[in-house]
Structure 1
């Protein structure tokens, strides 16, 4: 029986990988200095929740087959130091995923935005069509109990993040997967804390493209000028497959795909989602499915959690939740809702939560991103700003940065909730965007406004 120890087991992907290894029959232990829900309950149910929070070098024993190191751990972590003393192999989770999938066809979905949605579409279609595959995806998807699966399947679909690999490896995660097929959805500056120069950020994607083997394929969104420029300037022996948004039409707030087989109704909407869908179609056909199979299965795809998720509707007005935090994601999401429901008012709420979004120097990148909203609201948590050692921006600064003179700022979660509850949502859609949770703001009362 293989035996692995997770340093920082509580993370979203880390705890899912731990659960996947338990499911595979491996012996798993772990440590962390904090574990939140749902990770805590899921680890506890599997019998691998650490009894005490903290780092314990005595957990690191010579009989371990390896250490899986999370990004949350520091380089001076005492468990990591003990593992190095004992010469136990230390893997980041992308290195471990590659270690477990060297004999598989590896498909990597990358890009500044859309990668979770594209990966989710592919997973849904493959499962619906009875294809055996492994996967790594960054969100919970309907019909999948885990965000990671590792088995003897011949193919693995991987959401490839450009963020740093681990405390020991400052390269993007997606370099480690050594893809056979790569899809690049879009390039828009993100992760300002580790890529303060946009040219360096762009170059990570150029390097990824160049890694495509001659026997593989590079699928890229030609609607994104930066992606198109890079993909067309790189000399590759591999097949290059450009894509744009899938043809579609909107009638009475519902989108359908225009296909050779007629109109195919779908739950997704918005230009970026139609681009995501077209990219996913190319991946699926590259793996052997035909377009008819894709269209058959896409009808029932409802989306990944927090990706344009319709969490409440009365049929006329809608409450949406989206993971959007970077400027390109924010603009695409707000634009999509307004385009889908042009006759309805749109109230858009954005929580600035990441290091990039809270950084005053990065703020100009948000100019115009909320222009489609009839009412634009920003939420900032002063404590989150202080933890990142940044300056708390005031309402006037944010209004100038977003180029919205009417933008409203809230810095207390209960005050934001009170304001949203005071609004009438007749002929009005509410869009909540954040990679956080508005400091655990309870949405149940807000949902009730959409009964």
Structure 2
């Protein structure tokens, strides 16, 4: 079967492309402005990507079009697809129909930490020889790809609450029907499709309705928004984490690189690993609890997590040109920004933390987080904001940072400013959920040239 994917460069749709290719289908796709790591992953898989959305991409007609949720009416390819009467479906529905049927689905949902937690859980199952499949919105260093079919009944999916497609406005995750579900946390986000937190909670409760009574819901015990969802009705056993009654981690080292893992009052084991921050400690506890439901002894899960090397674009080390450490991080919500910087600075011995930040998500561009943004950078010594393509006053929103903040509307000028300021032992964190105009490579080159 020939499958053509509209919006193939998105993290989810690129994973669908890999799964379809692995299942033996001919796969092509259309997108624009692709950037690594998904562009690289598709190229390495030999999947052809056509630039833009020209109707000619659908000639000769594919057997099925899989439509990404970034596609809208008025898009030339979408209009051509509809006019020609081509068979089409959404990415989540294709996944449900072609991959998830008859699998033990483990899903990870929540506003923050989905990719990292899902990658941890997949790593544990792989390391324990359980041969799972997965579809995750990022590429873990140990997994090597964002998606794989697997060779067992287990399939792990990052369960996104964003809408499914222009013709299906339900959240993606209602298609997955998990047997094991992690609920990491819940905050207001995706203001382009949700009016308020209650609207997101409604979708989360739709997800809870699909988990069988023989399944398991692993939930963050300290999240009031999730408590409210569960209070609407729950028919599945609950396992709490991140609280004293359930799975939780006590840091032996201040940067959370050495954790003592507890189940209630019971000490289960020690985890020594390379990740930082309290948020990753909570993610680890969720993964251990979910893995236990799938049959992995907690002590074995802890041993597996000791070898977990993280995920691309989640505080990913890019290089140390001239003694300046440069990280790439996907954080684009105030809570994610704050927790990432807290984890980075918890055990800092010397040097400063400089941040390059792009307010790129739909929610951020709309100014929804304008009032809380500055406080999320409390642990940064300098913040450089990319002041372009937003409808609100970025300098005014960041005024509380005083002379620690600078707004620039040109990528090259931003690179030059950071390169001039950074000195050996400093850390630079590039924060964006997009390509940031190629800033990452430009900054590495500028720092290397200066050195």
Give TM-score, length-normalised by structure 1.
Answer: 0.87
- Map of 1:352 onto structure 2: 359
- The separation in 2 between residues aligned to 1:151 and 1:125, in whole angstroms, is 14
Displacement after TM superposition at 1:285 (Å): 0.8
| RMSD (CA atoms) | 3.0
Q: Cα deviations across residues 102-156 of structure 1 (Å, max 9, x unaligned)?
A: 1011111010000000001111111111111111100112133431222552011
Q: Does the Cα contact within 8 Å between 2:384 and 2:414 map onto a contact in 1? A: no
Displacement after TM superposition at 1:325 (Å): 0.4
> Secondary structure, in 3 states, of the residue corresponding to 2:65?
strand
- The separation in 1 between residues aligned to 2:222 and 2:446, in whole angstroms, is 36
- The separation in 1 between residues aligned to 2:196 and 2:127, in whole angstroms, is 42
Moved more, 150-159 or 202-211: 202-211
- Map of 1:438 onto structure 2: 436
- Map of 1:273 onto structure 2: 280
Give TM-score, length-normalised by structure 2.
Answer: 0.87
Moved more, 348-357 or 175-184: 348-357
- The total of aligned residue pairs comes to 437
- Map of 2:22 onto structure 1: 23
The reply on whether 1:258 has 2:260 as its aligned counterpart is yes
Distance 1:371 1:449, change over 3 A: farther
Distance 1:325 1:157, change over 3 A: same
Q: Does the Cα contact within 8 Å between 2:130 and 2:152 map onto a contact in 1? A: no
> Secondary structure, in 3 states, of the residue corresponding to 1:258?
strand
- The separation in 1 between residues aligned to 2:271 and 2:95, in whole angstroms, is 36
> Secondary structure, in 3 states, of the residue corresponding to 2:126?
helix
- Map of 2:249 onto structure 1: 246
Displacement after TM superposition at 1:96 (Å): 1.1
> Secondary structure, in 3 states, of the residue corresponding to 2:327?
strand
- The separation in 1 between residues aligned to 2:100 and 2:228, in whole angstroms, is 31
Distance 1:360 1:44, change over 3 A: closer
Displacement after TM superposition at 1:51 (Å): 5.9
Q: Does the Cα contact within 8 Å between 2:374 and 2:397 map onto a contact in 1? A: no
Q: Does the Cα contact within 8 Å between 1:269 and 1:340 map onto a contact in 2? A: no
- Map of 2:306 onto structure 1: 299
Displacement after TM superposition at 1:195 (Å): 1.5
The reply on whether 1:416 has 2:419 as its aligned counterpart is no
5+ long unaligned stretches in structure 1:
none
- Map of 2:401 onto structure 1: 404
Displacement after TM superposition at 1:160 (Å): 0.7
The reply on whether 1:225 has 2:211 as its aligned counterpart is no
Q: Does the Cα contact within 8 Å between 1:134 and 1:157 map onto a contact in 2? A: yes
5+ long unaligned stretches in structure 2:
243-247, 262-266
- The separation in 2 between residues aligned to 1:25 and 1:108, in whole angstroms, is 25
Q: Cα deviations across residues 254-309 of structure 1 (Å, max 9, x unaligned)?
A: 71122447543111110111111110111111110001211211111111011122
Displacement after TM superposition at 1:82 (Å): 5.7
Moved more, 357-366 or 341-350: 341-350
Q: Does the Cα contact within 8 Å between 1:188 and 1:328 map onto a contact in 2? A: no
Q: Does the Cα contact within 8 Å between 1:421 and 1:445 map onto a contact in 2? A: no
The aligned runs of 1:98-109 (5 Å cut-off) are 98-99=96-97, 100-109=99-108
- The separation in 2 between residues aligned to 1:394 and 1:308, in whole angstroms, is 24
Displacement after TM superposition at 1:13 (Å): 2.8
> Secondary structure, in 3 states, of the residue corresponding to 2:375?
coil
Q: Does the Cα contact within 8 Å between 1:57 and 1:78 map onto a contact in 2? A: no
Distance 1:7 1:377, change over 3 A: closer
- The separation in 1 between residues aligned to 2:429 and 2:61, in whole angstroms, is 51
Q: Cα deviations across residues 202-226 of structure 1 (Å, max 9, x unaligned)?
A: 3322332333221111111113232
> Secondary structure, in 3 states, of the residue corresponding to 1:419?
helix
- Map of 1:212 onto structure 2: 211
Displacement after TM superposition at 1:359 (Å): 2.4
Displacement after TM superposition at 1:39 (Å): 5.1
The aligned runs of 1:306-325 (5 Å cut-off) are 306-313=313-320, 318-325=325-332
Distance 1:426 1:86, change over 3 A: closer
- Map of 2:264 onto structure 1: none
Displacement after TM superposition at 1:87 (Å): 6.0
- Map of 2:65 onto structure 1: 67
Q: Does the Cα contact within 8 Å between 1:40 and 1:49 map onto a contact in 2? A: no
